[in-house]
Chains A and B, each alone.
Chain A
Amino acid sequence: MSKRVTIDPITRIEGHLRIDVDVEGGKVSRAWSSGQMWRGVELILLGRDARDAWTVTQRICGVCTTVHAIASVRAVENALQMEIPLNAQYIRNLIILAHAVHDHIVHFYHLSALDWVDVTSALKADPDKTAQLAESLSSWKLNGRHEMKAVKERLAGFVGGGQLGIFTNGYWGHPAMKLPPEINLLAVAHYLQALDVQRKANKIVSILGSKTPHIQNLAVGGVSNPISTDSQSVLTVERLLAVKGWIDELADFVKNVYLIDVAAVGAHYADWTKYGAGVTNYLSVPDLPQDTKGTKFLLPGGYVPGGNLAAYKPITSFNDEFWGKGVEESVKHSWYDYSEEKPLHPYKGETKPNYTDFQDNGKYSWLKSPTFYGKPAQVGPLARVVNMLAAGHEPTKKYATLALDTVSALAKTKVGLDAMHSTIGRHAARAISCAVQVDMLADQWQALVGNIAKGDVATFNKPEFPKGEQMGVGFHEAPRGVLSHWVVIADGKIKNYQCVVPSTWNACPRNEKDEPGPYEASLLGNPVADAELPLEVLRTVHSFDPCIACAIHATDVENASTIRIKAS
Chain B
Amino acid sequence: MRVVVLGIGNVLLGDEAVGVRVIEALQDYALPPEVELVDGGTCGMELFDQLIDVDLLIVVDALLAGKKPGEMVRLAGAEIPVFFRSKLSPHMIGLPDVLASLEFAGHTPKEAVVIGVQPESFALSLEMTPLIAACVPELVSRVLDELSAHGWYAPRLAEAA
Taking CB atoms, residues of chain B closer than 8 Å to A560 are 81, 83, 85
Taking CB atoms, residues of chain B closer than 8 Å to A561 are 85-86
- Measured CB to CB, the nearest residue on chain B to A19 is B88
Task: Say if the beta carbon of A281 comes within 8 Å of chain B.
Answer: no
Q: Once the chains are docked, how many angstroms separate the CA of A561 from the CA of B94?
A: 13
| Set A107, A199, A538: member contacting B90, Cβ < 8 A | A107
Task: Say if the beta carbon of B16 comes within 8 Å of chain A.
Answer: yes
**B15-65: which have CB < 8 Å to A?**
16, 40-46, 48-49, 59, 61-65
Q: Once the chains are docked, how many angstroms separate the CA of A17 from the CA of B89?
A: 9
Q: Once the chains are docked, how many angstroms separate the CA of A553 from the CA of B85?
A: 14
A164-B83, A166-B86 given; A555·B94 CB < 8 A: yes
Residue in A110, A164, A212 with the greatest tally of chain B CB atoms within 10 Å: A110
Q: Is A171's CB under 8 angstroms from B86's CB? A: yes
Counting chain A residues whose Cβ lies within 8 A of the other chain, the interface size class is 35 or more
Q: Is B61's CB under 8 angstroms from A16's CB? A: no
Task: Say if the beta carbon of B109 comes within 8 Å of chain A.
Answer: no
Q: Is B90's CB under 8 angstroms from A548's CB? A: no
| Set A62, A107, A165: member contacting B91, Cβ < 8 A | A62
Q: Is B45's CB under 8 angstroms from A110's CB? A: yes
**A3-18: which have CB < 8 Å to B?**
7, 9, 11-14, 16-17
Closest 8 A/B residue pairs (Cβ): A165-B83, A551-B91, A554-B62, A62-B42, A556-B64, A63-B90, A9-B88, A552-B10
Q: Is A9's CB under 8 angstroms from B87's CB? A: yes
Please give the residue numbers on chain A whose beta carbons come within 8 Å of chain B beta carbons, in ascending order: 7, 9, 11-14, 16-17, 61-63, 106-107, 110-111, 114, 154, 158, 163-167, 171, 192, 195-196, 198-199, 202, 212-213, 538, 541-542, 546-563
Taking CB atoms, residues of chain B closer than 8 Å to A63 are 44, 90-91
- Measured CB to CB, the nearest residue on chain B to A556 is B64
Q: Is B87's CB under 8 angstroms from A553's CB? A: no
Q: Is A554's CB under 8 angstroms from B61's CB? A: yes
Taking CB atoms, residues of chain B closer than 8 Å to A555 are 59, 61-64, 81, 94-96, 114, 116
Q: Is A111's CB under 8 angstroms from B85's CB? A: no
Task: Say if the beta carbon of B151 comes within 8 Å of chain A.
Answer: no
Q: Is B95's CB under 8 angstroms from A562's CB? A: no
What 1/0 mask marks residues of chain B from 82 to 107 whose CB sits below 8 Å from any chain A CB? 11111111111111100011011110
Q: Is A542's CB under 8 angstroms from B114's CB? A: no
A166-B86, A560-B81 given; A158·B103 CB < 8 A: yes
Q: Once the chains are docked, how many angstroms separate the CA of A2 from the CA of B91?
A: 32
Taking CB atoms, residues of chain B closer than 8 Å to A62 are 41-44, 91
- Measured CB to CB, the nearest residue on chain A to B62 is A554
Q: Is B114's CB under 8 angstroms from A13's CB? A: no
Q: Once the chains are docked, how many angstroms separate the CA of A234 from the CA of B8?
A: 31
> What's the minimum C-beta distance from B37 to chain A, rounded to whole angstroms?
16
A12-B64, A163-B100 given; A553·B16 CB < 8 A: yes
Q: Once the chains are docked, how many angstroms separate the CA of A557 from the CA of B62?
A: 11
- Measured CB to CB, the nearest residue on chain A to B63 is A555
Q: Is A547's CB under 8 angstroms from B64's CB? A: no
Task: Say if the beta carbon of B130 comes within 8 Å of chain A.
Answer: no
Q: Is A546's CB under 8 angstroms from B64's CB? A: no
Q: Is A550's CB under 8 angstroms from B88's CB? A: no
Taking CB atoms, residues of chain A closer than 8 Å to B93 are 551
> What's the minimum C-beta distance from B71 to chain A, rounded to whole angstroms?
13
| Set B9, B86, B105: member contacting A553, Cβ < 8 A | B9
Taking CB atoms, residues of chain A closer than 8 Å to B92 are 9, 11, 551, 562
> What's the minimum C-beta distance from B75 to chain A, rounded to whole angstroms?
7
- Measured CB to CB, the nearest residue on chain A to B83 is A165
Q: Once the chains are docked, how many angstroms separate the CA of A554 from the CA of B114?
A: 12
A154-B106, A213-B46, A553-B16 given; A163·B83 CB < 8 A: yes
- Measured CB to CB, the nearest residue on chain B to A9 is B88
- Measured CB to CB, the nearest residue on chain B to A11 is B92
Taking CB atoms, residues of chain B closer than 8 Å to A547 are 89-91
> What's the minimum C-beta distance from A152 to chain B, rounded to whole angstroms?
13
